[in-house]
Structure 1
Amino acid sequence: MAGGPSSLLPPLETYIDEEAIWIGVDRGVLYLLENGIIPVRGFGDFDSITEAEREYLHNYVPHLSVFPAEKDTTDTELALQWAVNQNPDRIYIFGATGGRLDHLFANVQLLSSDLYVGADITLIDTLNEVSVHVPGSYEAELLENFPYISFVPISAEVENLTLEGFKYPLKNCHISMGSTLCISNELVASKGTFSFTNGILMMVRSRD
């Protein structure tokens, strides 16, 4: 849980289960506590909260890692590094969209970096789910709360993109960075597939 605008957070109870391990980033630690979730760790410089709030965090969070404001990585990346090292099945990132655009773009770029690309990591807010994929074949299930699916190349080219089970199918199509060909597609069945042979592809599932 990062510290983006709380108004963009989805209902967290949807993602709470016995196997979930929660960690907070900066103000995101407060968001978790406000939702009755005690994170196992907290990361950040905590420059966006008051001294009283810091004391509150120290009383409730078992492990709070405080870093200087001037550093070479963002608070979110510090938390993501720790999370990836736990070898989880998947990672959901909340509170990482909205507000400052530099934070948004940095968080999306994290998913495509050499350290994290290919891992099962999804950015989630009330209107979107964002994931980044390496070459291969993937299944996409119909989600009523996120009916629109867009595919955006975030490498120079994505080669042989094939979409099956979609309203606008494709067969072995090459798309370049900057292309809007695959924006706002929809599934026409309970599930579909997408595959490609080269490049890095971002999938954005959205609702209005």
Structure 2
Amino acid sequence: MNIGIVAGGPENALASLISYRKDIDIWIGADLGAFYLLKNQLPIHIAIGDFDSIDKDKKELIQQEADIFREFPMEKNETDLELAVEAALSYHPASIFLFGVTAGRLDHELANIQLLYRLLEKNVRAKIIDHKNILSIYKPGQHKVTAKNTELISFIPLTPSVEGLTLQGFYYPLENYTVTWGSTRCISNQLINEQGTFLFNDGILIMIKSTE
């Protein structure tokens, strides 16, 4: 099962939700994200959050359209997105796609990236997707990557270092390299063809596919 969570980040940075319609089984809207689902004529299986980002009329519309509506107080220990992630995990999904979680407040954005690590620890595949980027994180091992030749691919360590990083099938190959916090060595690479491989021995690695 694949779950799409839409949060209330800036609408102009939102990926095309319609293009993911066939990939997602359950849609969850976090706060304003539930209204984004309505605007894109997508189902709201769960609407969740404190709904402090929308007016009364929009909130009532969401209540009417959502299969499940869960409202929380504004003063709480979790962000609306974390509440949505918890709701998603109750379905034991294989994958979670996060939309509307970038291009807004930087503190939220950094916390949202760390939510991916939490999902990784639960063996749930997860991605952050916006109009220009797809961000995912990986444990050590060998991983395949596909991308268009117009996409840039960057690797950034989530842990202080990632050891033994090897890139195969990339324009800038790499062999058994240790990338550390503050290094830009692995920014803006590309695949030679449509598929490549990366592998590493230790650490947690962020991969970002971007378009200009």
Q: Secondary structure, in 3 states, of the residue corresponding to 1:24?
A: strand
Deviation at residue 197 of structure 1 after TM alignment: 1.1
Deviation at residue 89 of structure 1 after TM alignment: 2.3
Q: Secondary structure, in 3 states, of the residue corresponding to 1:48?
A: coil
| Residue of 112, 126, 147 corresponding to 1:107 | 112
Deviation at residue 167 of structure 1 after TM alignment: 0.6
Kindly indicate whether residue 82 of structure 2 is the aligned counterpart of residue 77 of structure 1.
yes
Deviation at residue 190 of structure 1 after TM alignment: 1.8
Root-mean-square deviation (CA, aligned residues, Å) is 1.4
- Report 1:151-162 matches (<5 A): 151-162=155-166
| Residue of 1, 4, 18 corresponding to 1:13 | 18
Q: Secondary structure, in 3 states, of the residue corresponding to 1:111?
A: helix
Deviation at residue 18 of structure 1 after TM alignment: 7.2
Kindly indicate whether residue 189 of structure 2 is the aligned counterpart of residue 185 of structure 1.
yes
| Residue in 2 that maps onto 1:98 | 103
**Cα deviations by residue, 1:83-118 (Å, 9 ceiling, x for unpaired):** 1232222111110111211111111121123x5445
144 and 170 in structure 1: CA distance in 2 versus 1, 3 angstrom threshold: closer
| Residue in 2 that maps onto 1:170 | 174
Deviation at residue 144 of structure 1 after TM alignment: 4.9
Deviation at residue 143 of structure 1 after TM alignment: 2.6
| Residue in 1 that maps onto 2:69 | 64
Amino acid at match of 1:179: S
| Residue of 8, 26, 47 corresponding to 1:3 | 8
TM-score (structure 2 length as normaliser):
0.92
| Residue of 201, 206, 210 corresponding to 1:206 | 210
Q: Which runs of 4+ in 1 moved over 6 A?
A: none
Q: Is the 8 A contact 1:97 1:125 kept in 2?
A: yes
**Cα deviations by residue, 1:59-91 (Å, 9 ceiling, x for unpaired):** 111111111111111110111122123222211
Q: Secondary structure, in 3 states, of the residue corresponding to 1:185?
A: coil
Kindly indicate whether residue 54 of structure 2 is the aligned counterpart of residue 54 of structure 1.
no
Q: Secondary structure, in 3 states, of the residue corresponding to 2:98?
A: strand
CA distance in 2, matches of 1:76, 1:10: 17
| Residue in 1 that maps onto 2:47 | 42
| Residue in 1 that maps onto 2:132 | 127
CA distance in 1, matches of 2:100, 2:79: 14
85 and 153 in structure 1: CA distance in 2 versus 1, 3 angstrom threshold: same
CA distance in 1, matches of 2:57, 2:144: 47
Q: How many residues end up aligned between the 2 structures?
A: 206
Q: Secondary structure, in 3 states, of the residue corresponding to 1:81?
A: helix
**Cα deviations by residue, 1:23-54 (Å, 9 ceiling, x for unpaired):** 10000000001111121101100001111211
Q: Is the 8 A contact 1:153 1:178 kept in 2?
A: no
How many percent identity over aligned positions? 43
Task: Extract unaligned runs of 5+ from structure 1.
Answer: none
Task: Extract unaligned runs of 5+ from structure 2.
Answer: 1-5
200 and 19 in structure 1: CA distance in 2 versus 1, 3 angstrom threshold: closer
CA distance in 1, matches of 2:49, 2:111: 16
